[in-house]
Chain A
């Protein structure tokens, strides 16, 4: 799971709770789902987080959540924005693959080293998560004072998002002194090489220009000219991507973080060839949530006021829907601009004063406002989850559901268990091997040619780009695995009578998946004096146990000694092979004792 580094001192400062100890903070963070993993080299908390609350990827967002948790903040807070001065003009030449852009201007920031580090971390974490490693969304943050925008219309400065020739204009990228073309950046610059795969297939590369020239090459790298430092006062934030919603949400998270540090937000106009947007879009979204659903999902009875309170403590704002008449307008609460500093309200838990007698909650529905930094609320259920967290899931009393059902094993699993029980009774040690193997182990080391008629020689289902060369395919039979166990245990006491009732698979065009999956019964008898008869005797015992008719006509199989191998024929069908393992196979597995073996398809025992 991803992690985020948080400076506990900053957290104390931003929450206004200087008195909190590190341990208290860690415990409270755990309550938010941020698990303390350890300290970083810079004495920060390393916190593991579940990737839903992406608004908590920096200390500013975490502090906001904690203020709601402490009860210091309530409801929905939306920062105000000044009207737009700057425009991003989107040119027709922009690559079709990456058509979207968004942006905002941030003024009067006061970034110290910690603030700058936090902003850089937020950018990186957003890239890694929502931005899908910059493929879906990439962030560029610039020092506004370094930008020169020609007043295209009515004196408004403008920058342009365009598509450029890979070997066109040059610029000096971050962490470099050389003027490079975009194509050269992909080859020569370290960051360029890292992200080259995102744009190298494009005909034209994405680029952002001001009057001076190219200053950003999204999603790869910014130019050095507009680099942000602790001296920067005003910032220009631009984001490009493959989806407008995604980059707009990423922008909201960045805007909230900077606003929390006292900055002023300013709108930016985004002019597409055929439409125009004003960003950031800090409008709230509304979900309609039924009271009844909240109660059934949490398994508790709630007073409507309590629901509204829980919502506020979650940073949401719930009002009774206007569509249903309750006759009780006292509980209606509009989204709050900022409830900070208001006197603390008593927890309504257990308070019944506002619960109107006789008012049914059956059809009660809430309109719940969702703040613009939330990216995880897709459905009313997500609101109920927030309410549950605010209530405290661990305060709920577990109960065993009074639901009667009849249990039972799958027939296949019963058959396997029965076969395994008989094998153990016959003295076999039950094995449990991997289903994945490599071609060498599965075929070559047993002398088998894939695709031939020999038992176990079926064509393999293969793994794409295997992580390990030992696991490149699904095994077609169990004997190779059992021989490997013998090979790895030559220092252990004999006899080693091993069996496995296990998975095997091979290509089968008649299957919907193209893979024929089965279960095989495999066994090896390794000891001084093991011979064909030992294997056959046990095979006979199994056949008798399952009341099937066994025949063993002589056959040839490359894994076995000629003249000592037979087909396993059960009820008239060839389903496996039995014999004495060929010395060449034994030597290949470093074995110094004879091994008799059999393997067949368990379906034959039905």
Chain B
């Protein structure tokens, strides 16, 4: 059978022939007596030992008792002084005897009150008589004190009672437990007893029975690794997206939503991208085979956009010297950037006219028909944001983006003048990698051109920027292959071990 370690020790130390006191077992097992007692009761419950209890009395001398062992009992000393004074023949005055006895203070009273009681003589009218037949050497009380002082004991009885009453000895009671192997215990020992774990699990029984007070809880290796737990968790890229959204909402941006498959009109024409721009015919565009064209576009908007492309905007404006065809604009594609959401919102088509000031954002998918490798995906999340207000300046743009990137620990933004067909001025944004210190491109930005805004019916300034969420996530998580993060090639191990982003 299996028993906890302390029980095994007690069982092995106990004897079938005679009861062993707990103290002896404690000494034998090198366990604290309380532990031995607890183990003994556990063993008794299982019928392996019998525990007997008796109450033991221990008698000990008081300080006064010990003094009398040295000096002799006061009544005895009085008797001896009385004999000297010849009180065995004639009465002797009390004062004389006491003086010669050396008794002082309280001892005098004690001597007098016990003198007659114990038959040493009599006291009458201030005179003392001594019984010549009395034997101080046989004084039972004195002998009992002597014996106790020598470590002896004393049977219960009149003498003990007297000593107790006189405050010369004290009696203390203690419970002595003794343990004896039962037959079953012997049998189990013969069969072999192994050390079992002590109590591991806290069970309802343990709690309700109150046994938890007596049991020994197994000690665990609290430093050891525990088993691996795979709880549910949010995708690491999604965490990053949520963080970006938190930041933008905190900066006063409202979220946009709109179609993934959209007309080129919204994706490019409204952005003042000429129809023969290389990006529009480039093979990286995901044109749709089915369906091919959007059903309807807002007619007056189409007219205004076409005019901007052909003639430009404003008294000194010039258009592109490029063809423009509505059918081409109606062709459907998977959006190559989420700026199609911005054009839809700015046009008033999506949620009605937007009055300045306004801030809008999205963190949504864009599609590029590009080579799939460690840093490029066919689908990626684009962070897109714009601010609409009167008289926005390049400095406002810089201030806004510095604030945004600072939220991600990217300081010291550099603004490199750049070219986009739909913004002027335009800037590529560079930041310093927090760990490598490398200067990396982290976004593209600018102030929307009037050729874009005027047809959309916007007559104040709009500044905008965009960047790939994956780029931010790779910076933040240290991921080296974007495919581990995103898509069906995802490695669950990687996702399970990825550091939480917050």
Contacts and interface: CB of A to CB of B under 8 A. Distances in A.
A384 B447 CA distance: 12
Contacts of B317: 378-379
A401 B396 contact: yes
A517 B260 contact: yes
A345 interface: no
Which of B259, B295, B316, B377 has the most C-beta atoms of chain A within 10 angstroms of its own C-beta?
Answer: B316
Contact of B291 (A243, A296, A413, A515): A515
A410 B252 contact: no
B390 to A, nearest CB: 9
B111 interface: no
Contact of B232 (A30, A288, A389, A430): A430
B291 A461 contact: yes
Which of B312, B378, B414, B417 has the most C-beta atoms of chain A within 10 angstroms of its own C-beta?
Answer: B417
B490 A485 contact: yes
A1 to B, nearest CB: 10
A515 B399 CA distance: 40
Contacts, number: 276
B259 A434 contact: no
A372 to B, nearest CB: 14
Interface string B292-323: 01111000000000000000111111111110
B379 A436 contact: yes
Nearest to A422: B232
Given A382-B424, A428-B232, A436-B378, A299 B395 contact: yes
A514 B332 CA distance: 9
B399 A512 contact: no
A104 interface: no
A428 B495 CA distance: 12
Given A398-B402, A513-B262, A507 B291 contact: yes
Nearest to A495: B230
Contact of A385 (B391, B393, B425): B425
B492 A429 contact: yes
A413 B255 contact: yes
A296 B295 CA distance: 41
Contact of A297 (B234, B238, B394, B490): B394
Contact of B257 (A50, A376, A413): A413
A403 interface: yes
Contacts of B403: 400
A606 interface: no
Contacts of B488: 433-434, 481, 484-485, 488
Contact of A412 (B257, B334, B493): B257
Nearest to B402: A398
A265 B486 CA distance: 58
Interface in B255-299: 255-257, 259-263, 276, 278, 283-284, 286-291, 293-296
B260 A380 contact: no
Nearest to A287: B316
A379 B314 contact: yes
Which of A396, A484, A513 has the most C-beta atoms of chain B within 10 angstroms of its own C-beta?
Answer: A513
Contacts of A382: 424
B254 A423 contact: no
A468 B487 CA distance: 15
Nearest to B418: A50
Nearest to B272: A378
Interface in B363-411: 365, 367, 369-370, 372, 377-379, 387, 389, 391-396, 398-400, 402-403
B102 interface: no
A498 B495 CA distance: 12
A472 B379 CA distance: 13
Interface stretch (B68-76, B169-177, B185-193, B242-250): B242-250
B288 A462 contact: yes
B255 A409 contact: yes
A425 interface: yes
B27 interface: no
A404 interface: yes
Nearest to A135: B276
Determine the interface band of chain A, counting residues with CB < 8 A from chain B: 35 or more
A512 B294 contact: yes
Contacts of A376: 419
A245 B365 CA distance: 38
A474 B332 CA distance: 13
B416 interface: yes
Contact of B288 (A52, A245, A430, A464): A464
B231 interface: yes
B365 A435 contact: yes
B257 to A, nearest CB: 5
B492 A492 contact: yes
Interface string B304-348: 000000001111111111100000000010100000000000000
A215 B495 CA distance: 65
A496 B493 CA distance: 11
A272 interface: no
B286 A463 contact: yes
A431 B237 CA distance: 9
A408 B393 CA distance: 25
B152 interface: no
A132 interface: yes
Nearest to B495: A429
Interface in A382-401: 382, 384-385, 388-389, 393-394, 396-401
A376 B293 CA distance: 31
A384 B425 contact: yes
Contact of B254 (A51, A396, A405, A432): A405
A505 B261 contact: yes
Given A379-B449, A408-B249, A462-B290, A436 B367 contact: yes
B427 interface: yes
Which of B257, B289, B496 has the most C-beta atoms of chain A within 10 angstroms of its own C-beta?
Answer: B289
Contacts of A399: 395-396, 398-399
A212 interface: no
Nearest to B252: A405
Nearest to B289: A464
11 contacts: A378-B320, A385-B425, A398-B402, A405-B254, A426-B232, A430-B234, A434-B377, A462-B289, A467-B284, A492-B492, A495-B230
Interface of A: 30, 33, 50-53, 129, 132, 135-136, 243, 245-246, 286-288, 296-300, 376, 378-382, 384-385, 388-389, 393-394, 396-401, 403-410, 412-413, 417, 420-421, 423-436, 460-468, 471, 474, 481, 484-485, 488-489, 492-493, 495-497, 499, 503, 505, 507, 512-515, 517
8 closest A-B pairs by beta carbon, nearest first, are A299-B393, A514-B291, A299-B395, A398-B398, A50-B419, A52-B419, A407-B249, A464-B289
Interface of B: 228, 230-235, 237-238, 242, 245, 248-257, 259-263, 276, 278, 283-284, 286-291, 293-296, 312-322, 332, 334, 357-359, 365, 367, 369-370, 372, 377-379, 387, 389, 391-396, 398-400, 402-403, 414-419, 424-427, 447, 449-451, 485-493, 495-496
